[in-house]
Amino acid sequence: MTLNQPSDLRQCTEDQLQRVCDETRGFLIDTVSKIGGHLAAGLGTVELTTALHYVFNTPDDRIVWDIGHQAYPHKILTGRRDQLHTIRQAGGLSGFLKRSESEYDTFGAGHSSTSISAALGMAVAAAQQKLDRDVVAIIGDGALTAGMAFEALNNAGDMDANVLVILNDNDMSISPNVGALKNYLTKLMTGPTVSTVRRTTKKALDGIPPVRDYARRWEEHIKGMILPSTFFEEMGFYYAGPIDGHDIDTLVTTLRNLKEIDGPRFLHIVTKKGKGFEPAEDSPIKYHGVSPFNPTTGEFGKKTKVRTYTDVFSDWLCDMAAVDDKLIGITPAMREGSGLVRFSEEYPERYFDVAIAEQHALTFAAGMACDGQKPVVAIYSTFLQRAYDQLIHDVSVQDLDVMLAIDRAGLVGADGATHAGVFDYSYLRCIPGCAIYAPSNESECRDMLYSAYKHVGLTAVRYPRGAGIGALEKPAMHEIPMGKGEVIQNGQNVAILSFGTLLPAALEAANVLGATVVNMRFVKPLDGDLINQMAASHDLLVTLEENVIAGGAGSGVNEYLAAAGIATPTLNLGLPDRYIDHGSQTALLSECGLDAGGIAASILASPFYQPALNDVKKRV
């Protein structure tokens, strides 16, 4: 069965839908097994995706997915089946939702917990334009832990918006096992007869408040015996569920019934991550994001273990915890990604996963710091953006002793623009008292983690995704003097001031140019004495960073030179003023001119002090 668009799907009979689900699941497993990507979450939403596109008139009706891990089946059923093999590759499909990719991707989703807010906005827009349009938001039980999701629920229930929220509970963290009885009851409770009776009775009893209130309490009592808490109804939603999210017949019937009800509605479904692929069902975390694997056995190809910056942080955290019982490890739902698995096992009483709640994570850390603990918040650069007010107001303004271990800094490759950590130098540099460490390799990263931890105040150590150059770590941790860089290689005419892990590329470019290379090590505070020295002895200063140029480390050098009245020309090299799409990290750096060849070419093309570079141009 080949379905290219949801309109094709809606030509199927209901009896054919299970076959559609089976074929979609098989195609997803086969494709991802060859190219890698996100798997377990998508396997859990096959039936839901099929039912949604079958019942609702997409793309005119809006389906808003929360993040994109679960949306691979959505891509398959919305005209992108033949392109799925390109997902997360340069020039291919995005691994997340992307409005420019398809009219069915109604809202771009890279970070979680945004779907209800976006769907509510769409529902209100439809009402303003007097359009007869259904709007559906799908959110996971993990994403529902975020404050933003509850803000949206509160707002939606209060304004009586015509929106359907579907809770995809794939960890059974809210409800017990469900079965045929609960499916039947939900069909009954959402059916046209019961719905009509409820609406008619409500109108009839509105004029008799005591009887109306008694009837409402009676209904809640009855539902409370057979269904979960009425929490969502208290927020203003018509609640239905929980139902089996893999029962396509029940899903279709329930969605059709809910479609006929106006106002805010809430459907709770229970699904299983990795559904239909036993290895993924048994280990959903392992099969969340995968490299190519054997689709029959689930076995991955043997790979040489490469030591990553995340591994460096993981080991350092445990080593530091062994000598300081004040250390606390905090993560907003990224235990595996941020390298806290070992710490959570060895120091469970000092490990806190606060769920998808970055704002809470920072203020929680601030509270601990107020009373003498030393919190280390392990967080992705792109997720730290979500807690910016807390970083300033709750940590920095109060001058609290909090350390940020910022993973996934710079370009992140296949995850693309939504996950790239390319703004942190800029948004951290303007915060008073925030010390920003920029390690150039793994060994220096370990020393900087130790140095930042020893410093009293707000500190941030920023390191990239993946492995570095394989620099051996020192057996002990060494404290690096605050705000002090180092000259790595002496040259003439040009001095490259390198911030972070682009140092190897800077050295390679410098070997062509005969340039000086400085490992600045700190974005803030800057080493003013070293900048003075380089400006006095070179015709051109070049700043190099894997961050946007606007407001970044190079801007800091420019500001320093201007304030000191130093007129040495400066060339700022960094990421361009646009979002960088997905692809390999190496290819993306080359595209942005931040590989050795691109760095050398930019310097040679600089309008500053060209006569001094003529001899270099002749050599190259």
The residues annotated with a catalytic role in the active site are: 273, 358, 386
Q: How buried is 322 (Cβ within 10 angstroms: 0-12 exposed, 13-18 middle, 19+ buried)? A: exposed
d(CA 596, CA 508): 6
Cα torsion 414, 417, 419, 422 to 10°: value is 120
Residues 147, 153, 155, 159, Cα dihedral to 10° = 180
Buried residues in 165-193 as b, exposed as e (16+ CB within 10 A): bbbbbbeeebbeebeeebbebbbebbbee
> E strands, 27-83, where?
37-38, 62-65
- H-helix or E-strand spanning residue 164: strand 164-169
Backbone angles phi, psi at 359, to 5 degrees: -60, -50
Residue 509, token pair as written in the block: 């470019």
**What three-state secondary structure class fits 188?**
helix
β-bridge mates for residue 193, sequence order:
none
Strand partners, 459: 403, 435
Distance CA 55, CA 303 (A): 44
Inter-CA distances, 220 with 150, 181, 216, 243, 531, Å: 22, 18, 6, 18, 70
Q: How many CB atoms lie within 10 A of CB 274?
A: 26
Please report which helix (H) or strand (E) contains residue 238, including its range.
strand 238-244
Alpha helices in 46-178 (DSSP H): 46-55, 72-75, 115-128, 147-159
Q: Which residues of 123-153 are buried (b: 16+ CB within 10 A; e: fewer)?
A: bbebeeeeeebbbbbbbbbbbbbbebbeebb
> Strand 238-244 vs strand 265-270: parallel, antiparallel, or unpaired?
parallel
Residues 537 and 518: their CA atoms lie apart, in Å, by 13
Mark residue 321 as left, alpha or beta (left: phi above 0; alpha: psi -120 to 50; beta: remaining).
alpha
Q: Say which residue the tokens 């979002």 belong to.
A: 579
Phi, psi of 244 (to 5 degrees): -75, 115
Could you write out the DSSP letters of every residue in 338-388?
TT-HHHHHH-GGGEEE--S-HHHHHHHHHHHHHTT-EEEEEEEHHHHGGGH
Q: What is the residue whose two structure tokens read 């004040």?
A: 326
Which residue shows structure tokens 């008619």?
200
Place of tokens 């409770």: 189
- Residue pointed to by tokens 């229970």: 270
Query: Of 407, 429, 219, which is closest to residue 309 (Cα–Cα)?
Result: 407
Closest CA to 539 of 516, 505, 562, 573: 516
Strand 37-38 relative to strand 289-290: parallel, antiparallel, unpaired? antiparallel
